Amino acid sequence: MSQEDFIRDSKERFSIVGPQISEDEIETVFPVAFPGREDLKQFYLLYNGGSRTELGGTVYCGNPEHRVSRDRLDELRVEGFFAISRDPQKRMLGFHSMLGCRATRLRTFSSVPEMKTFLEENMPIAFDHSGNYLWINLQNGHIQFLDWDAYRDGPVEIAASFREFVTKFWVDAVLPALD
């Protein structure tokens, strides 16, 4: 699939997208090159986050039956992507900032060495229907799911690249029915 096809196909799934961002702002958040970084940059230049619904990334389902754990990833329903804002404290209505989400998790888990290392090496990139985050490794570009209720079990890799992740869980996703 060409990059143009990848971008076009991903656009059809958005109901709302984030505010415009520059390539320099993206590179400030993702300064180190990794496989798939160019796809990520093009994606964020056009969308800068967004959601399947008009509600954006601030509302999650509270139904415990919809919660996806590491052993039920076939039911994962990606609802949207975090927006990039260079200021982690800046609030963009309808969107969570990836830097703000990461900063919150760092504060919460700073005393847990293995989680502190994970958070330093990864950035939240997307969120699922029940509020779990999907993380991109800042060195190799792999996408991982981390169930915070079972964080001691570690992350589960769900895609080897940003493009694979978007294609599998956003563009081609068969969304589970929600009761």
The 3 state secondary structure assigned to 62-92 is: CCHHHCCCCCCHHHCCEEEECECCCCCCCCE
What is the CATH number for 124? 3.40.1580.10
Are 143 and 171 in contact by the 8 Å Cβ rule? The answer is no
pLDDT at 15 (0 to 100): 78
Q: Is residue 69 part of a domain?
A: no
pLDDT at 144 over 80: yes
Q: What is the DSSP letter of 160?
A: S
Determine how many CB atoms are found less than 10 A away from the CB of residue 111: 7
> What mean pLDDT do residues 156-171 have?
93
Are 164 and 157 in contact by the 8 Å Cβ rule? The answer is no
Q: From CA 167, how far away is CA 124, in angstroms rounded?
A: 18
In this prediction, residue 175 has a pLDDT band, given cuts at 50, 70 and 90, of low
Residues in Cβ contact with 61 at an 8 Å cutoff, skipping those fewer than 6 apart = 129, 130, 131, 178
As for how many domains the chain has, the answer is 1
More confident residue, 123 or 7: 123
Q: Is residue 91 part of a domain?
A: yes
Q: Is residue 68 part of a domain?
A: no
Q: From CA 45, how far away is CA 55, in angstroms rounded?
A: 21
pLDDT at 113 (0 to 100): 84
pLDDT at 108 (0 to 100): 84
User: What's the whole-number average pLDDT of the chain?
Assistant: 83
pLDDT in tens, 35-87: 999 999 999 999 998 888 776 555 566 677 777 878 888 888 888 899 887 55
Domain ranges, residue 54: 3-60+75-171
pLDDT in tens, 104-136: 888 888 888 888 889 999 999 998 888 889 999
Q: Is residue 177 part of a domain?
A: no
Q: From CA 91, how far away is CA 125, in angstroms rounded?
A: 17
The tokens for 107 are 């504060």
pLDDT at 23 (0 to 100): 95
Q: Is residue 120 part of a domain?
A: yes
The tokens for 67 are 């919660």
